[in-house]
Structure 1
Amino acid sequence: MIVLGLTGSIGMGKSATAALFEEEGVPVHSADAAVHRLYAGKAAPAVEALFSGTVVEGVVDRERLAARVLGDAEALKALEALVHPLVREEETAFLDAARARGEPLVVLDIPLLFETAGEGRVDRILVVTAPADVQRARILARPGMTPERFAAILDKQMPDAEKRRRADVVIDTSRGFDAARAEVRALVERLRRESPT
């Protein structure tokens, strides 16, 4: 089975690209979606213990949590030490199930793949990208996003140019869905042919 790592900086079109893989019948494990599930369940009590007042009715309030950890390196490190192992557990279960089904190809959607030294967990790396002005416009259009918050998030991420340099495949999402869909389809066909499964 080929494990394709999908990554890219914030606002580059990662989630939309992951959905294109799902359209092609490729199983996708999203680290972000796993965090959402964990924040609504298993991780909530531990997050509340670390950051009192960030859990509302049993669910982590992401805005309150962001206000506590963004710009505080120690707080962020503590949160990551709690959440990352739980996400990895879900990822391992996903991969085991896919292998058992005989899947030829799966996608791990990992926003901070390079930043968390995740290259060893995947066979190939796809980086999604877009020009900086497109990225900025996409992000600042999100509810609650400010230029300061955007800058703080970007500050934690490896520069886009370095991600592209390390990638096996790069897809520019600024050319629209049809172009991205065609590139994803061609990549899926090629990787399925290469898969030992």
Structure 2
Amino acid sequence: MSFRLGLTGSIGMGKTTTARFFAEAGIPVWDADAAVHRLYRGAAVAPMRAAFPSAVTDHVDRDALKRIIAADPAALTRIESIVHPLVAEDRRTFIADTKADLILLDIPLLFEKGYEAEMDATLLVTAPPEIQRQRVLARPGMTDQALDAILARQMPDRDKRARATHIIETLALDATRAQVHALIDHIRSRHA
């Protein structure tokens, strides 16, 4: 059975880049956000059409869902009740089908949703708040208000730090890549 390393971090902390470094090192990576994108073009279409017909054509329209949630914040709970079980099944399938000594599971809400219980260890990627804000505000269409709303829904970084097995600060690409390789070696040496 594969060693399951759960990767998490708040928006703008370097999760995508860190996951890419694991993939470049030959570690199979499952990405929760990518799974949602696949499901919005597949298994989630029918149940989402039943619940939110205005948000579905041949696929689930994420922008339409954002508008629905803006008008009715309670809709987020209904959306999650449909999508989260499908995402969990996609993750279980990946774990069952992947024959590697180590796998990385990129789950933005790892701690918020209690998924760390399914992991052998967790990895938090982090950066100082001013770097996080700078990174996120450089994204097209992102505003201070939108970032603050996202951060309000996420567990504070200090709380994630207290719960994480491993922490990587993502200040420079080469240093982050080196820390990823060191962590892979560490896990393999302890769990061979």
Given the two structures, how large is their TM-score scaled by the length of structure 2?
0.93
Partner of 1:122: 119
Stretch deviating more after TM superposition (157-166 or 145-154): 145-154
Distance 2:31 2:133 in 1: 23
Structure 1 residues 53-132: aligned runs within 5 Å: 53-56=54-57, 58-70=58-70, 72-98=72-98, 101=99, 103-132=100-129
Partner of 1:135: 132
Q: Do the aligned partners of 1:31 and 1:110 also contact (CA within 8 Å) in 2?
A: yes
1:183 aligns with one of 138, 158, 179: 179
In the alignment, structure 1 residue 162 sits paired with structure 2 residue 162: no
Gaps of 5+ in 2: none
User: Structure 1 7/71 Cα, relative in aligned 2: closer, same or farther at 3 Å?
Assistant: farther
User: Structure 1 55/109 Cα, relative in aligned 2: closer, same or farther at 3 Å?
Assistant: same
- 1:61-95 alpha-carbon deviations (Å, 9 max, x no partner): 21221222258442111111100110111111111
The Cα shift of 1:123 comes to 0.8
Q: Secondary structure at the match of 1:115?
A: coil
Q: How many residues are matched?
A: 191
Q: Which runs of at least 4 in structure 1 moved beyond 3 Å after TM superposition? A: 70-73
The residue type paired with residue 128 of structure 1 is: V
Given the two structures, how large is their TM-score scaled by the length of structure 1?
0.91
Distance 1:119 1:70 in 2: 29
State the superposition RMSD in angstroms: 1.5
Distance 2:190 2:38 in 1: 33
Partner of 1:150: 147
Query: Percent identity among equivalent residues?
Result: 49
Q: Do the aligned partners of 1:70 and 1:76 also contact (CA within 8 Å) in 2?
A: no
- 1:99-157 alpha-carbon deviations (Å, 9 max, x no partner): xx2x1111110000010011111011100011111111221222232222222211111
Stretch deviating more after TM superposition (164-173 or 71-80): 71-80
Q: Do the aligned partners of 1:31 and 1:87 also contact (CA within 8 Å) in 2?
A: yes
The Cα shift of 1:52 comes to 3.0
In the alignment, structure 1 residue 50 sits paired with structure 2 residue 61: no
The residue type paired with residue 188 of structure 1 is: I
Gaps of 5+ in 1: none
Partner of 2:19: 18
Distance 2:65 2:187 in 1: 39
Distance 1:72 1:149 in 2: 17
Distance 1:65 1:12 in 2: 25
